[in-house]
Chain A
């Protein structure tokens, strides 16, 4: 069974641009969560989706948005990029909300210059 797939693995963007990151969960998983990992702030929860509905949102500005498609694939979008958005973005999937384990992808490393 394929694991959680995040694309692209690496990305370099310029301040002010926007970016879209993709996460394909493990087959059969309907719950997807996103996290931002930075050296200064550590791992912070961004959003959680289940069956195309956002169930939870972290404390991030409105520039950060996400969505989930009917096939459970999820995207997150960051508009008007700032230098501080440089981070590793991790996606995790589970069969359903409240499942005992979250399975993580390898992340997308975003660098904003």
Chain B
């Protein structure tokens, strides 16, 4: 079975600074997707960034980028120029792409609560 581990329950960053959230996962599958989701106090999960396992290039979305280390099964999220609106719970998630990838089942980590200090 696949597992996702986030070892940092809470993190804090100063506004305009950079912070990195850690995530490791365990799987025996070769084809999968990894995601970072943000959950603000409104509770709605919002996709931050996505990485396909077959892609060697790290994904980037504006101020958000990942460091994907497939051999080490590590998938960290870097937030640059942190803003007050970035304060939220961040979840790392895994989704299998085996068997044609015909599933939307996500396996989540326990989350990291990010505080942004003005």
Write the residues of chain A forming the contact surface with B, with a CB cutoff of 8 angstroms: 31, 33, 35, 42-45, 48, 55-56, 88, 90, 92, 94, 97-102, 104-107, 109
A-B contacts, CB under 8 A, total: 60
Closest to B101 in A: A98
Chain A interface SS verdict (over half) = strand
| Interchain CB contact under 8 A, A105 and B44 | yes
| Interchain CB contact under 8 A, A56 and B105 | yes
| A106 to B44 alpha-carbon distance, docked (Å) | 4
Q: List 24 A-B contacts (CB under 8 A).
A: A31-B104, A33-B106, A42-B108, A42-B109, A42-B111, A43-B108, A45-B106, A48-B105, A55-B102, A55-B103, A56-B103, A56-B105, A90-B45, A94-B104, A98-B97, A101-B47, A104-B37, A104-B44, A104-B46, A105-B44, A106-B44, A107-B43, A107-B44, A109-B43
| Interchain CB contact under 8 A, A106 and B43 | yes
Write the residues of chain B forming the contact surface with A, with a CB cutoff of 8 angstroms: 33, 37, 42-47, 50, 91, 97, 100-111
Please give me the 3 A-B residue pairs with the lowest Cβ-Cβ distance, nearest first.
Answer: A104-B45, A43-B108, A98-B101
